[in-house]
Chain A
Amino acid sequence: MAGRYFLTTLAVTLGVLLGVVWVYTARFPGFYLSPGYGAWQAKFELAVARPAQSVCILGDSRAMTDLIPARIGAKVLNFGLVGTKPIEGYFMAGRLSADAAPIQAVVISYEPFHFTIAGEELASVWGAAKYGLLKGRELEEIREQARIVRDPAIFQSPTPFDIDARLKIWLLSHWFPSYYILDLISGRVAGWRNENLAEISTTLDTRGYVPVPVRPANKVVPQGGQWFKTRGGAAASMRPLGWAPAELHARVSDFARTEADLVDENAEMPGFSPAPIIDFYFRQTLELFPKEGVPVYFVSMPVNDLTLRAMSPKVRAGFASYLDGCAKAYPGFHILGEAVTSLPVVYFHDKQHLNFDGAALESERVRKLLAQASVNCGPADPDWSPAP
């Protein structure tokens, strides 16, 4: 008899605990997902409530932080999403396209690195699922496509009946808490609630422009002729160059010590070769809008000059050639400016993203490029700056 109580109590305890966490993760994602979540939600709202004839920017975190809609024009909206690649861009584009209000033009911007696979698994899809962009149906579509193009970057190699991938999709899209537990811990259960609410209203006010840091992150500061990267208020931990080798230990690796730490991941690529699944969705995006008569423009966001120096010429040439190929294949797709551009490192907040001065400069450049392409972005506000 005691044996039955054991199994019953075990099952009930396990079920109740798991159930409580499951319900919490599903019901209150804004409480524990980092403030990036607020920005994403704001952009989903913006996608629905956008005015007619708007100019929509799609892209990665560089596009999000480097392009200030108010400085480009009153009709510009920034739908750039942190940590995304063209796959997620396609589904964001789908949300825009599905809406009845006609779009005047779409601006796309992704760095070369985001066309490739980082690490063994492409994690951006899972991040987009957590943040609400991709639902089970979309993930399932990506899985099927990944299997067709035989790209194991997202779902790894198929298992019998592709159960591993299908199960992950089902669990993640049904908020199974194992996939959210690290967010719950780092978000201290409800630690991001206020920040997310604030982020939603700020992002709506800025029409999608989100200055870095999205979350307490790295910041580049000059000191004694050297550049340092600090992590949320940890400036006190900065040390001059040439300290004991122990500084390289993982514990202190968050703090940059040399200029090399400002060179971004584009410089680590030996050449440019897009991942099949990313290439597919990028091309899908290029097909989507011209079908509706909406022109699509590609604009590169600048890398810092240290990165540009360290970048392989093969990457630059390969990326330019890839974009040219797309422009030839899709008549509604145009490239504005160079495939890879740069700005001095002083305009950067960290190794990838521009600070406000840099973003203002870049926004002005893009404004001119769009004007040359006869895109009516509406009047720009050259004095706009984010509320303190």
Chain B
Amino acid sequence: MLFNSLSFVLVFLPLAFVGFHLCSLVAPRAGGRLAAAWLVAMSLLFYYWWNPPYVLLLLGSAAFNYTLGVLIQRARGRERLQSGVLWLGVTLNLLVLCYYKYFFPLLHGLNGIGFHFVAGDVILPLGISFFTFTQIGYLVDCKSGISQSQNPLNYSLFVTFFPHLIAGPILHHKEIMPQFRAPETYRINLRNIQTGIAIFILGLAKKTLIADTLLPVADAAFAKPEALSLIAAWHGALCYSLQLYFDFSGYSEMAMGLALLFNIRFPANFDSPYRSVSVIEYWQRWHMTLTRYINLYIYNPIAFWVTRRRLARGKATSRKGLKTFSGFTELVAYPTFVTLFLAGVWHGAGLQFMIFGLLHAAYLSINHAWRLWRPDPGGGPPRWHVIAWKGSLTYLAVLVGQIFFRASSSMNAVAMLRAMLNMNGLPPWNGWRAECGLEEGFSPAHLVTMMNHGSIPMVVILFAMVWFVPNVLQVFSEYEPSLSTPRTPAPEWLRWRPDWQWGAALGAIGAVALLAITGTSAFLYFQF
């Protein structure tokens, strides 16, 4: 089921919400166990809605990892046994993930180069990457002693809680389990309900009113990039970039708002990434919980291992050592490339995803190198034109990465980049208007058509929103919608308050967003 479907908004969500709070009211002495059980049941129904047989996979995965977690905790003091159980868990989790995600594409790929395997197709279980990663992290932390023994009900909720089940954010048990245990989670909290509804409406509007209207332009452009002129290629690429931005931003906000309706705070997952002035900052703002996860469980272990190896060889690991070529390569570039390569492969089996990962690894390495070896920038805040230059360069680098991220193959991405470099030529003199989505003219009378076509004026307006309008974390900062603190709160006049003016505005936005639910357009991150 999709958050942006009428079945979800009109049937499932009201049922889950009312049932949860009724359970909390009816059985307050049960310490929320009834309400938690209700949420688990609804989360399983949510998953069952999409593909019934895979509920068994989800339940099996949760039961298996919970059991291993208990085993690891009970084997405290027996290092080898703990490691054995951990490796068994990690290996089996990854095997299941690889089977669903890579095995059949691999067979198809091998058949493409002359092999003759019987390669059927399998439906990728929704959210398998997310619930697998969440649980691998949990097992690793059980071994490190970070994770305490858990109640099976709370653990089930941690894995299956529907607002994060299929596309994140990737939760860390340390920040979520205490919330599931806390009695106040199972009490009606008007403040959370108001904030949750408001954020959910904004996310829904982003998805249905913006991201979905850009989809046809982006899809058409990437369907035949070798046929695009310079303008059409840039138009298609920018529309995709905005579609991805508003799609993921909308999803993240809907997830955050939904969690709040059940008195749960998620970590922030999206913080205006296109405003970044470096690729390092970009990764701190885009899919933040994935960045945190790969840092914690891939980058840091590799970096520690390399550091220990260098120390054993008597080599420096301090900033001075980092400034040498071998130091930088071993301590920064190597872990970065391995981590981002894996992050790229996580997104899909195609070569384009590997290039996407390696491209970002190169960006990050260059960015780190620049920070190490650049001339002293001096004191004081950077001037606006420096910020604009850095921001533009960062966005351009990100855009090139996104071409690979979206393309159906690496050749498709190269064709798109060639078109963007004007290798296919300019459009015919009377064709430019059509290629900018303005065939019906540029006038207020055609505003809706223009929006539907992702026309150039709309693209400009959307970029203005992306760069200058405060994001949800900033607007709602006083109401702490997430576990993270925003960098800067929104100006006072733009901060959300639960008053009638905001109620009217959000009611209007909600009505329009609801009207715009015309089909079932999946979120882009659902495929991962």
Contacts and interface: CB of A to CB of B under 8 A. Distances in A.
Contacts of A246: 227-229, 231-232, 424-428, 431, 435
Contact of B224 (A8, A159, A248): A248
A125 to B, nearest CB: 15
Contacts of B76: none
A159 B220 CA distance: 31
A248 B497 CA distance: 49
Given A6-B502, A9-B503, A164 B7 contact: yes
A244 B425 contact: yes
A252 to B, nearest CB: 5
Interface string A236-255: 11010001111111111100
B294 interface: no
Given A246-B425, A252-B435, A7 B503 contact: yes
Contacts of B511: 13-14, 17-18, 21
B226 A178 contact: no
Interface in B464-498: 497-498
B212 to A, nearest CB: 12
Interface residues of B, number: 60
A18 B503 contact: no
B453 A251 contact: yes
B508 A13 contact: yes
B507 A250 contact: no
Nearest to B438: A251
A2 B511 CA distance: 22
Contact of A243 (B45, B48, B220, B428): B428
B386 interface: no
Interface stretch (B65-73, B135-143, B189-197): B189-197
A191 B315 CA distance: 77
Interface in A1-31: 2-3, 5-15, 17-18, 21
Given A160-B49, A181-B516, A6 B498 contact: yes
A251 B439 contact: yes
B191 A3 contact: yes
Nearest to B496: A6
B227 A251 contact: no
Contacts of A251: 220, 232, 431, 434-437, 439, 453
A167 interface: yes
11 contacts: A2-B498, A8-B503, A10-B504, A13-B504, A163-B7, A163-B11, A246-B231, A246-B424, A246-B435, A249-B221, A249-B228
The 8 A-B residue pairs whose C-beta atoms are closest, nearest first, are A13-B507, A250-B220, A246-B229, A9-B503, A248-B227, A6-B498, A17-B511, A10-B503
Interface of B: 1, 5-7, 10-11, 45, 48-49, 190-191, 193-194, 197, 216-217, 220-221, 223-224, 226-229, 231-232, 236, 424-428, 430-431, 434-437, 439, 448, 453, 497-504, 506-508, 510-512, 514-518
Given A8-B500, A163-B11, A181-B516, 5 more contacts: A14-B510, A245-B425, A246-B231, A249-B236, A250-B223
